[in-house]
Amino acid sequence: MFYLCVCCCVYVTLVTSYTPKHGYVKGLTLTDKLLKMQTLPEYLTQKFLDWQATEGARKTLEDFANYLDVNRSLLSYWINGARVPSEENIEKISIKLGNEIYDVLDIPRPNIYLQKLTRIWEFIPEDVQKRLFDEAGRYETEDISKRVSKVSKRTKASRNK
């Protein structure tokens, strides 16, 4: 069942869940539709407030910018809706706040495995890097041969018609 929160005009869902420790518990969750409608300024403002709550103290925007590893003035522009973060800054934000930033900006999420490998690549021993590189080359070769095989099969099928 949906309810309209009068104070902030958003739809929420009343959910009931069961836990062995607490029995049936009622609570409110935001709908997926609301999350997709969130703007960048709303998202960053909410994340700033959430971050302050987890820190247990009032923090400044500069503190939040330092936490995100971005420039304070850029963060201010983003929160005010004047600018959109660059790809590099989107990645920094996603590392600290989660990949929802991509949804908010309506851009595809990156591959999480590739993202992690990119972040830790310099810490991976060189022999392991080489093995990964060689293994990737094997898949690249297999992919090319599969594509060539599919084209050959289609060509043969069209000739037989």
Q: Which pTM was predicted?
A: 0.57
pLDDT-wise least confident of 2-11, 23-32, 90-99, 114-123:
2-11
What domains can be seen in the chain, in order of their start residue? 1-35 (no CATH), 38-124 (1.10.260.40)
What is the per-residue pLDDT for 14? 47
Instruction: Write the pLDDT tens digit of every residue in 139-153.
Output: 877 666 666 666 566
Question: Is pLDDT larger for residue 3 or for residue 87?
Answer: 87
The token pair at 64 is 């939040």
137 falls in which pLDDT band (50, 70, 90)? confident
Angle at CA 100, nearest 5°, toward 39 and 108? 95
Residue 101 contacts residue 93 (beta carbons within 8 Å): yes
